[in-house]
Structure 1
Amino acid sequence: MATKRADLRPVIKLRSTAGTGFTYVTKKNRRTSPDRLVLTKYDPVVRQHVDFREER
């Protein structure tokens, strides 16, 4: 049985939009941000900052 904490803050993968396949792993709060997350982070493969989108 899942705990309340695991239900509210699931672990998600952020995949690079540059097409390199590089990912970050983070948690997000479902109540405050129910939509898919988009963050600008550093992609070391292309050596620049690009958008990372939430993957399910």
Structure 2
Amino acid sequence: MSHTDVRPVIKLRSTAGTGYTYVTRKNRRNDPDRMVIRKYDPRAGRHVEFREDR
């Protein structure tokens, strides 16, 4: 896979400090900046913000 892929695989790291991550793909043309999504962190037992981690 080339580095200029339009849909790169990114890691979403929990801001709760649990070290839990989701792995997803994103469209670089639609979301050029870092993504922040609220998802469920099973280690924290609640929904927290997940930030994109390159």
Which TM-score band applies after superposition, normalised by the shorter structure?
A: over 0.9
Q: Greater helix percent: which structure?
A: 1
Query: Which of 1 and 2 has greater Rg?
Result: 1
- The RMSD of aligned alpha carbons is 1.4
- The ranges of structure 1 where at least 4 consecutive aligned residues each deviate by more than 6 angstroms after the TM superposition are none
Return 5+ residue gaps in structure 1 as ranges: none
Q: Structure 2 unaligned runs (5+)?
A: none
TM-score of the aligned structures, taking structure 1 as reference length: 0.89
Deviation at 1:38, TM superposition (A): 0.3
Q: Which residue in 2 is equivalent to 1:38?
A: 36
Residue-pair matches, total? 53
CA distance in 2, matches of 1:35, 1:26: 15
Partner of 2:17: 19
